[in-house]
Structure 1
């Protein structure tokens, strides 16, 4: 028997949708108030940034006038007028490119994100806290120099774009970072060790890129607040090298690892993750039997996808899923019946 897959519903994964879209920015934008208007050097930086973008649907048509704090997607501090949030997520799918923003993210032409961030960094004491550019067609590489100065950055959310290149080592300077979301891009290279310095990080979302090299416990040891972790390598060139004796300092609720070299054994470091309810370990070369800790977790699991591995022998009777939305053991080497369906 190859395995089994039984979703409780044909709907898509609700938790994944939330991870990809993110929560709304707490900073108000496109609002009128009597607080200080935006700083002129920052307004000019935004104007130059706009020049480097294509905007076929006119999403940035409000970017005129002297007060950039009233522009769509721009959030300012009520106390200082500094731009603290830039939220240009595409709320629609980019099927025909009509609602997508395009442009370079590297130091190439005026209006790129390096120029924007550089202006904010040099002229406003690194005030930027949130940068949202998800689901557009933004390209180029993340700028190393500017990131090193974004020491107030809390959300860096750039999924579903065309960003390439590695994660700059300077990411470790953004010690206030809570969410790093770079999924569904064309990024490559190894994960820098400096990621492990982000002690306030609670979401590290890196799947659907072309990562390579080795990921070890050194990358994760300092992430004491981590709750959600996703990663994959479309060229299957990322190798996990984590000690079986390692005890993580965090408590995950959500983990997705796929198309990486994680096996042949189940990762022992997940055995103390008692809050896990969403587990995806697909196409990661696991070739042993179901571990005891997964049986202990199974009554509380909402989503379990272990497909496309080489898990073998019979499933234990203690494996039960009373609350599961989906359980997927397909494309493995299982034997016998499925006890949780009996």
Structure 2
């Protein structure tokens, strides 16, 4: 009986700890934001070797009164795997080094970095809508939580707020930068035999430029909204066209949609896909639409599956869209009049979906 009660108590304590960790888990994100805003990973990287607490405090020019509290921040960053401690077992002063995770957000010029993407998602504008979720569920209206929080849609915010627009465009460019290698290396056969390609919502053209560089025979066009590409010159290897994908997509053998459809509800996705179907050439000449998105249920990794679910909640709070499983993707393709599809799980968390007319 005592052992049974002891087991119940242990389970209760575990549940309390897990609940508390969920309750204040947002402080992991805020610790990460603090590390990025202070420039901790770049400071360690520029130093060229692990740094002690004193060295980090001095390099960042932080007040000496903050040194004990900086230790607490570094302890949390170590706990969540963003940094790692060196010298613990030798009895020397603890030093802090980068991990694979922190290497992903280094801002070294010329190296792909997830910094813009990560920082944009822990910005107040992006996080505030999540506080309105319960109110949104209670109301039967067309607003999403972003509109409830900011009195405008996400896209209206990008048009009227240049700083936010730049942050979003930089974030989208960074997603292209770190997935380009996987796309070019693992699915290069998809681009064999095609001559023209349109990257719909391709931002500043990072993916299109990489395609041209690796497949010079492919003529690439980026279709984007006017305020996104207004300062981009059209004298480079990629052609930029101003327009709205709901109205018109330039004709091409292949249309690429990278992280586009998860922003939109099913009805809008079908409209976009129908425009794509109008734009592409026949299947016999290589015509297809290439979609780069998450496919829920496509991974056996618990961490990656959680990433898909968290991204789905992000879509719920920011846009009208969703992350989708294969069955949900198939329904969209069928409803838009496509005959078949093929999924390749190759680019990290993302999959490549080819759909054929």
TM-score over 0.5 for the pair: no
Structure 1 length as normaliser, TM-score? Answer: 0.28
Indicate the structure with greater strand content.
1
TM-score normalised according to structure 2 size: 0.27
Report which of the two structures shows the higher radius of gyration computed on alpha carbons: 2
